[in-house]
Structure 1
Amino acid sequence: MTTRLARGLGIGASAIAAGATVATVGATALARLSRPSGEPGVLTDVHGLPLHALIHRGNGPTVVFENGLGCACTEWSWVLRDIADRYSYLAPDRPGCGWSGDDGRRRSAREINELTAQLLTRHDLPAPYVLVGHSIGGLLAMSFAAARSHDVAGLVLVDSSHPDQLVRSSAQRDAMPMAEHAMSSLFWRTLAGRKPSRMAVSDLDDLPEHEAARSHRLMERPAPWRAAVREIRTFDAWCEEFRQATLPRSLPIAVVTAGKTDVGDSKHGELQADLAAASDVSRHVVLAEADHDNIVMRADHAAEVGAAIDWTVSQSTAQARKARSA
């Protein structure tokens, strides 16, 4: 999560007065908050909560994706196309995002990861797992890897959040209340039936045409913006959870950083390098022309994410081969 997040979500759009909005939209607003139909993947009931995921059974390890703040699994469309001939994958939507249902609960990182683990088990997607996380999803990917290190082959962190970013970066710290305000504004805007500001969703245009259209329709609903506000308010707790965890030094970690994020935050590159330094087996690539969102949504940048997944798998395979021959 970055300063660009706050800028890109249309902070200038004023929030609709809450009382007037609720009184005006009534039952129509409730309908807008309901789970959308026409999901492209699989719906799974997990303890009464319908969770949506894109699932592919292929060769090699299972790649597990964690989306950015408020994003649907479709943000990975180019990456999924790239890796489908090489790996199995699970790309889930967190509660309230994409086509998943929402019970309104705030969940710890551990609880979110338990939902992911349930999906992996229910759909018979075996370990080893490579966790890929974008933005705030990077925190969840790291937490999953720390808790289940025996099942995890590697990590790919794509312009990921850092557990200490609010302490070490004043730009990140200042952006948090602005980001929450922006998300809240977009929630009320879409609850009233108005489309989000163009700036808030423009990066979706970089997705494949059909997935771009799907994603735009999703973000015209209030549910993902409400989920994003909830996740912003849970961010500190997720950071603290990970601070109490430990990643194995031998776990392969690939970090893919958006060069344009550095423009708004001089500490961003330092924090990204710190993520790579968490492992003795790491690779750090900075994409100079990428920004925080199009690093996964634009085809050429997404190809670099696919290359990072390949590198992580190759390092894990080499480690396993060496262990067998020892």
Structure 2
Amino acid sequence: MTGRHDAVPRVAGGLLAGAVLAGLVTQAMRHRRVVRGRGDESLFETGRRNILAYRLTEPQDSVPSDTPVLVFESAMVSTAEHWSWVRRSLGQQFPTLIYSRAGYGRSEFHSTEPFTLESAVRDLEELVRHVCGHRPVVLVGHSLGGYLALRSAESMRDLIRGLVLIDPSHPGELLRSSAQAKGAEQVTFGLVLMPQSTRLGLGGLLPEPSWVRLLPGDQQDLCNDQYRDEKLWTAAKREWRATHREFLNYDGNLPEFGVPVRLIAADRTHVTDKTASDLHGEIVAAATQGDMRVIERAKHDEILLNEELASQVSRLIHDFMHNLDGRHSAAKEVS
């Protein structure tokens, strides 16, 4: 009996070690798939040595040379694949540029500089100027990506013709919204655990997030791998620290942007946080020409990931682009 009792810890320890090893092997294979990406991305190295993976697509039918390129800027904890429904809809009529910020997906973070949100803005500007040249662009940003789009408007004023902000972050939200401040505590706690857990090979223990099955079928496996991989959470932790620091030091002044703006809000954001409606209204009011459209029964993330909701977003962007084109044509006639 003694021998049998002594064997139990050894067997249990061996099983645990085997499970950990299996987790690490699975994690390594998953990581290789994330780094490999879709395989059709182009790569661009920024001045900070970051490598950005991007895809530029052109409509099959020819469009006027001055048709703006739609440039998509993702939320935190998001990759280019999260724009799949919107890009598929709008890519038939407009040039589109999607990419993942440094550290997400196939993109790599190599900068030795302390990371700030301005660093992300400079990466975006370099990518846009490299890929689009002198072509006009319309920036489309979701959540934190919406705020980064706002930040980019001033430095790219020679290229940017308009902004579409989808449930965007406002730099004053942590100071003025108790709901956002409480949420920030949860985000901070989660981003302490997730990078380390996935680094230890525990990503496979995470349940598949429900939103993955909302995406097109050919995107689901890659997004599931990204969600369980250390890269995504390390990048998110880096961005959250910079965002948290900058938003807590907000001086009350929004970035300058002298272009038309369409803000597309998820109604659940406004219902659950009344302050969010006021903050979004401030962004619209700061624009030279701006409006806000609210999509009913939409949540902050599902507004892009749900095909039906994303189609509503696409129609609002399409409408904005055509109105923008009319204003541009009128301006050329006057000049």
Interval of TM-score (by shorter of Structure 1 and Structure 2): 0.7 to 0.9
- The answer to whether the aligner puts 1:70 opposite 2:77 as a matched pair is yes
Quick one: which amino acid aligns to residue 191 of structure 1?
A: R
The CA deviation string for residues 248-301 of structure 1, in whole angstroms up to 9 with x for no partner, is 2xx221111111223432212222222222224222111121111110111111
Any residues of structure 2 matched to 1:138-157 within 5 Å, and which?
A: 138-157=146-165
Determine which of 79, 88, 105 is the counterpart of 2:86: 79
Partner of 1:321: 329
Deviation of 1:314 (Å): 2.3
CA contact (8 A) 1:253 1:276 kept: yes
TM-score by length of 1: 0.83
CA contact (8 A) 2:69 2:132 kept: no
Any residues of structure 2 matched to 1:70-219 within 5 Å, and which?
A: 70-103=77-110, 106-194=114-202, 195=204, 197-198=206-207, 201-219=209-227
Structure 1 window deviating more from structure 2 (316-325 vs 71-80): it is: 316-325
Aligned-partner SS, 2:255: coil
Q: Number of paired residues?
A: 301
Determine which of 225, 245, 252 is the counterpart of 2:233: 225
Determine which of 237, 246, 252 is the counterpart of 2:256: 246
Structure 1 window deviating more from structure 2 (289-298 vs 102-111): it is: 102-111
CA contact (8 A) 2:125 2:156 kept: no
Any residues of structure 2 matched to 1:29-44 within 5 Å, and which?
A: 36-39=35-38, 40-44=40-44
The CA deviation string for residues 22-49 of structure 1, in whole angstroms up to 9 with x for no partner, is xx88997888777611434222233443
CA contact (8 A) 2:206 2:228 kept: no
Q: Which gives a bigger RCO, structure 1 or 2 (Cα 8 Å, sep 6+)?
A: 1
Aligned-partner SS, 1:44: strand
The answer for unaligned runs of 5 or more in structure 1 is: 1-23
Structure 1 CA distance for aligned equivalents of residues 223 and 28 of structure 2: 20
Deviation of 1:148 (Å): 1.8
Question: CA-atom RMSD, angstroms?
Answer: 2.7
Quick one: which amino acid aligns to residue 54 of structure 1?
A: R
The answer for unaligned runs of 5 or more in structure 2 is: 1-19
- The answer to whether the aligner puts 1:292 opposite 2:300 as a matched pair is yes
Deviation of 1:242 (Å): 9.4
- Which protein shows a greater Rg? 2
CA contact (8 A) 1:166 1:172 kept: yes
Structure 1 window deviating more from structure 2 (156-165 vs 41-50): it is: 41-50
TM-score by length of 2: 0.81
Structure 1 CA distance for aligned equivalents of residues 313 and 251 of structure 2: 26
Structure 2 CA distance for aligned equivalents of residues 91 and 166 of structure 1: 28
CA contact (8 A) 1:252 1:279 kept: yes
Q: Percent identity?
A: 25
Partner of 2:13: none
Structure 1 window deviating more from structure 2 (264-273 vs 72-81): it is: 264-273
